[in-house]
Amino acid sequence: MSDHLVNAYRPLPVSFTHGDGCYLYDSDGKQYLDALCGISVTSLGHNYPELTAAIQQQASTLLHTSNLYSIDWQQKLADLLCESAQMDRVFFANSGAEANEAAIKLARLYGHQKDIETPQIVVMQHAFHGRTMATLSATGSRKVQAGFEPLVSGFVRVPYNDIPSIEAIAGQNRNVVAILVEPVQGEAGIVIPDPGYLTALRKICDRNDWLLMLDEIQSGMGRSGRLFACQHEAVLPDVMTLAKALGNGVPVGACVTRGTAAEVIQPGNHGSTFGGNPLACRAAHTVLASMLENRVADNAAQRGKQLFSTLQEGLAENNRVADIRHLGLMLAVEMKTPCQSIVNRALDRGLLINVTADRVIRLLPPLIIDEAQTTEIARILIDCINDFTE
Ligand SMILES: *Cc1c(COP(=O)(O)O)cnc(C)c1O
């Protein structure tokens, strides 16, 4: 281990040399079934042939120019994204946090354009929106915020999945300009709101001229069993942020806008040197086109059901399990006690998973996974959980 890395992470004692489809391989040649996808990033699996070819070809053509010039692949990607999400205009960034920064800045600008001098954004308890100063301030986790005060102001926090508390704010606070919310809370432990939640948020936003801003960075790009999680309720946001699986491992983020929100940002308001560069946009275009062509969201819906019912059956007798829930291939097994050690047990047995919010085993497998691989994930995980007696 190098002494020259900032101690931001505590990595597991394994390092991978290459990957292929749903599998990763370490330096000893041991194979691992990847049920995490680098936290919902490599949704098409590793070394996806079409993407590899597109990246190689783009690398031998053009990596970067500048947003001072028009960029072909950026326009093609924006067209395809807007067509598939029924949105109007896209700002490209390099990460999820940056996509959310763009959304937060857009909401403030929207407020100022309406002569609201101290615009506020409604955000949720236990939300996760990133690690930059504005996005960590929007995040609803003390662990993420502690030590970084003073936080960025302009956020009002309410409980997730609780419409009345937002109605109450709408009646009192004339400075609110937007709601920023995850359709499914990922880092909080795959927390799925009641059906109708997004529809109710949409109505409140319409009634109050607020922007509905959906953070689909984890839930988007087919992960939930629909291309975007908001499509489960046929709700259109004003702003939607994407990153993670958008580039299948090539860093790219997007702030996707519609209607009035699409006209808020004007030349000079916002920018990025790398954002929207030819390599990232070609990669993301290839990813999105493949996802649409191969209907991976439908596969995510089917395999998600299979994984959920196999786990339910296999863990029915285990009284340490508090809950099992899923939307598509976002799946959680919530334990009654902290269970970080299950990650190492699974690693030993060649399965990559993660624990979030202390007690929640999180599975985010590739969306291209087949029936046999799904059964295999369930089989190994059931063994690990049944062996867990701490
Ligand atoms: C991962 C994530 C982010 C932050 O994305 P980064 O690329 O790590 O900056 C923001 N919101 C949600 C919902 C996420 O899951």
In a domain, 45, yes or no: no
Domain span including residue 370? 16-34+295-387
- Per-residue pLDDT band at 234 (split at 50, 70, 90): very high
pLDDT score, position 390: 80
Report if residue 39 sits inside a domain: no
C-alpha to C-alpha distance for 102 and 255, rounded to whole angstroms: 7
Query: Is the pLDDT score of 2 beyond 90?
Result: no
Q: What is the pLDDT of residue 36?
A: 98
Question: What confidence tens digit (pLDDT) does each residue in 64-79 have?
Answer: 999 999 999 999 999 9
Mind listing the pLDDT tens digit for each residue in 258-312?
999 999 999 999 999 999 999 999 999 999 999 999 999 999 999 999 999 999 9
pLDDT at 11: 95
Is the domain of 148 the same as that of 280? yes
Among 259, 277, 294, identify where a domain stops.
294
* CATH number of the domain that residue 283 is part of: 3.40.640.10
Let me know whether 148 and 162 are in one domain: yes
Catalytic residues: 128, 215, 244
> Bridge partners of 26?
16
Domain end point (choices 294, 323, 342):
294
In a domain, 369, yes or no: yes
Residue 2 within a domain: no
* Pocket flag, ligand 1, residue 182 (CB < 6 Å): yes
Same domain, yes or no: 96 and 175: yes
174 and 196 housed in the same domain: yes
Tell me: do 272 and 365 sit in the same domain. no
Please determine, for residue 255, whether its predicted confidence score (pLDDT) is greater than 90: yes
CA distances for 37 relative to 137, 156, 243, 319, angstroms:
27, 33, 14, 29
Test site for ligand 1: of 214, 217, 219, most ligand atoms within 8 A of the Cβ: 217
Same domain, 122 and 263: yes
Residue-level pLDDT at 252: 98
pLDDT in tens, 178-210: 999 999 999 999 999 999 999 999 999 999 999
Q: Would you tell me how many other CB atoms lie within 10 Å of the CB of residue 72?
A: 12
Residue 186 CB–ligand 1 contact under 6 Å: yes
pLDDT score for 19: 98
Q: What is the pLDDT of residues 130-189, one digit of tens each?
A: 999 999 999 999 999 999 999 999 999 999 999 999 999 998 999 999 999 999 999 999
Q: For residues 237 and 307, state if they share a domain.
A: no
Give domain status of residue 174, yes or no: yes
CB atoms within 10 A of CB 199: 12
CA–CA separation, 305 vs 327, rounded Å?
8
> Are residues 162 and 130 part of one domain?
yes
299 plus 279 within the same structural domain = no
Lookup result for tokens 């490599």: 42
Same domain, 75 and 156: yes
On whether both 238 and 169 belong to a single domain, the answer is: yes
- Using the 3D structure, point to which of 294, 329, 360 is the last residue of a domain: 294
Please state, in angstroms and as integers, the Cα–Cα distance from residue 15 to each residue in 2, 29, 352, following that order: 13, 11, 12
Looking at the fold, whether 171 and 117 belong to one and the same domain comes out as yes
Question: Per residue in 58-115, pLDDT tens?
Answer: 999 999 999 999 999 999 999 999 999 999 999 999 999 999 999 999 999 999 999 9
Residue 355's pLDDT is: 98
Q: Looking at residue 262, what is its pLDDT? A: 98
Q: Is the pLDDT of residue 240 over 90?
A: yes
Atom of ligand 1 nearest to the CA of 219: 13
Given pLDDT bands bounded at 50, 70 and 90, which one contains residue 12? very high
The reply to whether 3 falls in a domain is no
Q: Is the CB of 220 under 6 A from ligand 1?
A: no
352: helix, strand or coil: strand
Which of 224, 216, 227, 279 shows the shortest CA–CA distance to 249?
A: 279
Decide if 7 is inside a domain.
no
Reported confidence tier of residue 120, pLDDT bands at 50, 70, 90:
very high
Question: What is the residue-wise DSSP string for 178-243?
Answer: EEEE-SSBTTTTSB-PPTTHHHHHHHHHHHHT-EEEEE-TTTTTTTTSSSSGGGGTTPPPSEEEE-
The rounded mean pLDDT for the chain is 97
Residue 248 lies in a domain: yes
Residue found by looking up tokens 């990596």 in the block? 63
Looking at the structure of the chain, the number of domains it has is 2
Contact by Cβ (8 Å): 330, 43? no
Supply the CATH number for residue 326's domain. 3.90.1150.10
The preferred substitution site among 9, 104, 218 for testing ligand 1, maximizing ligand atoms within 8 Å of CB, is: 218
Q: What per-residue confidence (pLDDT) applies to 113?
A: 97
